[in-house]
Amino acid sequence: MLTLERLEITQEAFHLTADFSITPGARVAIIGPSGAGKSTLLAAIAGFVEPSAGRILWQGRDLGPLAPGKRPLSILFQDQNLFPHLTAAQNAGLGLRCDLRLSPAEMRDVGTALERVGLAGLAARKPATLSGGQQTRVALARTLLQARPLMLLDEPFAALGPAMKAEMLDLLAALAAETGATVLMVSHDPGDALRIADQTILLAGGLARAPQPTGALFAAPPAELAAYLGTPGTRPQRGPHKP
């Protein structure tokens, strides 16, 4: 279980608080206007941003002292998820051993993972020669090999087309189901949340609210969510923040 315990993140004029837990194996979307701090919240959990107060716990253990690579999680960024000078197999293999000293058995595992994400035969290619979807698949193969119990996704599919994005979301959901991993996924698209997330965290006005069932949340959106969605019939306080 991931617990954000009275977590506060402060950066210059920016402030964000969160105080809730996420059940193991859940697939959770984080949704909210741009600039609200979705990526920052993920960066704090991953260990790239130091919280100003509170703790982040995994199975009751404080993650604070752990370096990003030592935390029980994998993360996919918006971009720069692959090293351009390494092959698809090497990039994926980093998920097993980050020094790439792979045993023959581990190399077979890398091959299996690449096949699992639909990249059979492309192991020796470098990222620049792969399509955007294929690059995303390499990164997913790496998280599969990392086999960490928590997967963080900072809109890594944002640049893909709708069909490709849906395909990646389904692949992600399938991989998470296979490994039983908890998924925490930033998105600005309600469709993403509705497609694979059983719960959704609404992040607006400096507050990350506890996860709620996605269907119920979108069926009766609170004011902030309605304002973000531009849904009529509720009481929007401000216009939607679009990037």
Partner 1 sequence: MARRALPIGPAGWLGAGSASLVLALSFGTLGAVLARSGGWGVLGPADWAAVRFTITQALVSAALSVLLAVPAARALARRQFRGRGLLITLLGAPFILPVIVAVMGLLAVFGRSGLLNGALGALGVAPVSIYGFQGVVLAHVFFNLPLAVRLILQGWLAIPAERFRLAAALGMGPPEIARFLERPMLKETLPGAFLAIFLICLTSFAVALTLGGGPGATTIELAIYQAFRFDFDLGRAATLALAQFAICIAAALAALRLATPSGFGAGLDRRARVQWGADGAALRIADALILTLLSLFLLAPLCAVLAAGLPNLGGLTAPVWFAALRSLGVALASTLVALLLALCLALGIVRLGGGRGRALETIGMLALAASPLVIGTGLFILARPFANPATLALPVTTLVNAVMALPFALRALLPAVRDEDEGYGHLAEALGMRGLTRLRLVTLPRLRRPLGFAAGLAAAMSMGDLGVIALFADPGHATLPLQLYRLMAAYKMGDAAGAAVLLMALSLMLFWLFDRGGRVDADA
User: Contact with partner 1 (CB under 8 A): which of 1, 98, 174, 177?
Assistant: 98
For residue 207, the number of C-alpha atoms closer than 13 Å in the C-beta half-sphere is 6
Give the interface segment with partner 1, choosing from 106-114, 126-134, 170-178, 202-210 (CB under 8 A).
Answer: 126-134
21 neighbors 7 (Cβ within 8 angstroms): no
User: Contact with partner 1 (CB under 8 A): which of 100, 174, 177, 210?
Assistant: 100
Which CB sits closer to partner 1, 93 or 190? 93
User: Contact with partner 1 (CB under 8 A): which of 30, 41, 75, 176?
Assistant: 75
User: Contact with partner 1 (CB under 8 A): which of 86, 159, 164, 223?
Assistant: 86
Q: What gap in Å lies between CA 39 and CA 34, rounded to an integer?
A: 9
Torsion of CA 206, 238, 191, 210, to 10 degrees: 30
62 makes contact with partner 1 (CB under 8 A): no
What's the alpha-carbon Rg for the chain, to the nearest Å?
A: 18
CB of 47 to partner 1, least distance (A): 6
Residues 6+ apart with CB under 8 A from 48: 68
Which CB sits closer to partner 1, 32 or 221? 32
CB of 223 to partner 1, least distance (A): 29
Q: Residue 146: which H helix or E strand, with range? A: helix 132-146
Q: What gap in Å lies between CA 160 and CA 40, rounded to an integer?
A: 22
Pick out residues in 177-216 that bind partner 1 (CB under 8 A): none
Pick out residues in 4-43 that bind partner 1 (CB under 8 A): 11, 39-40, 43
150 makes contact with partner 1 (CB under 8 A): no
Which CB sits closer to partner 1, 152 or 193? 152
Which CB sits closer to partner 1, 52 or 179? 52
Q: What gap in Å lies between CA 198 and CA 184, rounded to an integer?
A: 11
Q: What gap in Å lies between CA 193 and CA 228, rounded to an integer?
A: 14
Residues 6+ apart with CB under 8 A from 106: 93, 96, 97
87 makes contact with partner 1 (CB under 8 A): no
CB of 149 to partner 1, least distance (A): 15
Q: What gap in Å lies between CA 86 and CA 34, rounded to an integer?
A: 33
Which CB sits closer to partner 1, 74 or 187? 74
Where do contacts with partner 1 occur on this chain (CB under 8 A)?
Answer: 11, 39-40, 43, 46-50, 67-70, 74-75, 77, 80-81, 83-86, 94-95, 98-100, 126-128, 146
